[in-house]
Amino acid sequence: MIYLFHGENQPALRDALLELKKGYDEAIFWEREPEELGSYLLSPSFFAKKELVIVEDPDLGGLTGLVGLIKKGGKDVVLTFSDKVPRGKLPKDEGLKIRYFREEIPKNVFPFLDALAAKDKKSAFAQAHRLLRAGEDSHFLLTMVVWQMRNLAKVKGKATKGLHPYVLGKLKRLERNFTEAELSHAFSLLLKEDLATKKGKANSTTFDFLIEKLVS
């Protein structure tokens, strides 16, 4: 089975991915070169009866070819994207199970995201800790920060198609707080935190360090 999860609502996508993983003995995130995936999918799973391979943000240009390669293997694969895949880029394959997660960001998260984009350190920490005390986990907040930074980058690059007018208006006022170099550095920090999360090395303390670095 091949799954394709995409859309702006990354928290819902992550929840669906976690739910999907429960049906497998083992799930791995593919971190090696794309060219090595084909041989891996053909190899037997010695320690797991049922294995799921998760491929994050593969190249859209080679997506159809990647799906064809996966179909030759013997393992289930889920392709996940951190944004909506344009209709024309989606492979026309009946064997592909596609799920689109429409944007639906909880309103209680916006004060934190706005404080972060404004580089208001005191408010950003206060709002983050409020959400954590309310039961939100740091992985969810990390996903929201990625969403916010990605939108800031879109506004700075004048690629605003599809953004809600209200969100766009706020981001136009906030994007001046980050230079292109600072946004690039922010994405590097977010990637490191995401990798630490997947390896079980991230928590609310490392998330605090992340906030500190982002607003400095």
* CA atoms of 19 and 66, how far apart (whole Å): 24
Which pLDDT value is given to residue 11? 78
Rounded to a whole number, what is the distance in angstroms from the first to the last CA of the chain?
45
Q: Which residue in 70, 99, 90, 86 sits closest to 2, CA to CA?
A: 70
The pLDDT of 201-216, averaged and rounded, is 92
* CA atoms of 25 and 86, how far apart (whole Å): 33
Which pLDDT value is given to residue 161? 77
The contacts of residue 181 (CB under 8 Å, 6+ apart) are none
* 77 beta partners: 2, 53
Residue that has been written with the tokens 């954590």 in this structure: 132
Q: Is the pLDDT of residue 131 over 90?
A: yes
Question: What angle is formed at CA 68 by the lines to CA 12 and CA 92, rounded to 5 degrees?
Answer: 65
The pLDDT of 164-168, averaged and rounded, is 78
The pLDDT of 42-70, averaged and rounded, is 85
Q: Is the pLDDT of residue 210 over 90?
A: yes
pLDDT tens-digit map of 114-124: 999 999 999 99
pLDDT tens-digit map of 3-16: 999 987 887 888 89
Which pLDDT value is given to residue 48? 63
pLDDT tens-digit map of 15-50: 899 999 999 988 889 988 888 898 899 888 766 678
Q: Which residue in 51, 100, 46 sits closest to 77, CA to CA?
A: 51
* CA atoms of 216 and 211, how far apart (whole Å): 8
Q: Is the pLDDT of residue 171 over 90?
A: no
Element (H, E) at 57: none
All structural domains of the chain, each given as residue ranges with its CATH number in brackets, are 2-100 (3.40.50.300), 107-215 (1.20.272.10)
8 touches 102 (CB < 8 A): yes
